[in-house]
Amino acid sequence: MISFSEIDTTTKRASKAIGFSWGIAEEVGKNIRNMELFGLPGVKNLNEYFKIYPNKQFQKISLISEKNISDKIPYCPIILGVNFLDQIKVLENKKEINFKNIAYPMLFLPFASRGSELIGKKIFLNIDEKKFLLSFNQAIYSNASDKLIIEKTENLRLSFIENNNSFSEDEWKEIYKLSEKTFVEEKDSLKEYSAGAGLTDND
């Protein structure tokens, strides 16, 4: 089995060879490594995209807004992803972001996953009817196949999920009350051996 480190290095070099800068190529390497780590077809999607990349034009978005539409030329998922990460601190204040017409949108997915980690919020992402929940770049949950290759999506919708506990305040109080049984009562004998107590200078 090829190691994740080798996947990172090889896809980075392939991205540079196809025409991206070393900086962007490094981002792609990290992303494909993460996709494969999460059991998603990163190498497959990148291979297919790079087969058409030299002979087709792709829209290179710069400023991302709530609605982003490219009518004729599909967005490049890599340039889109790089700019998404650069603008993530501003974009997280928007309720929802929509993109229309992205080539190989699975290649955008790991950028969004890393964005989730940067802002400390989960991100919910729809690629047409396929759903993905991105959790702080630690896990990706989906109803899609692990062999998924999507050449183009008409609609990609992304929303940020505010952090909320999955339990009630009463449930927390119950479990905390139980944890208190492990607390050690502080006694005078313990205080004598606490930090700084009874120290002598031997110098």
Four-residue CA torsion sign, 63, 44, 100, 120: negative
- Nearest partner of 132 among 123, 122, 142, judged by Cα: 142
- Nearest partner of 103 among 66, 73, 83, judged by Cα: 73
pLDDT at 147 over 60: yes
Ranking 85-89, 95-99, 144-148 by mean pLDDT, the lowest is 144-148
Angle between helices 77-86 and 109-119 (to 10 degrees): 10
Question: What is the per-residue pLDDT for 191?
Answer: 56
> What confidence category does residue 143 fall into, taking pLDDT thresholds of 50, 70 and 90?
confident
Residues 6+ apart with CB under 8 A from 45: 35, 104, 106, 107, 149, 150
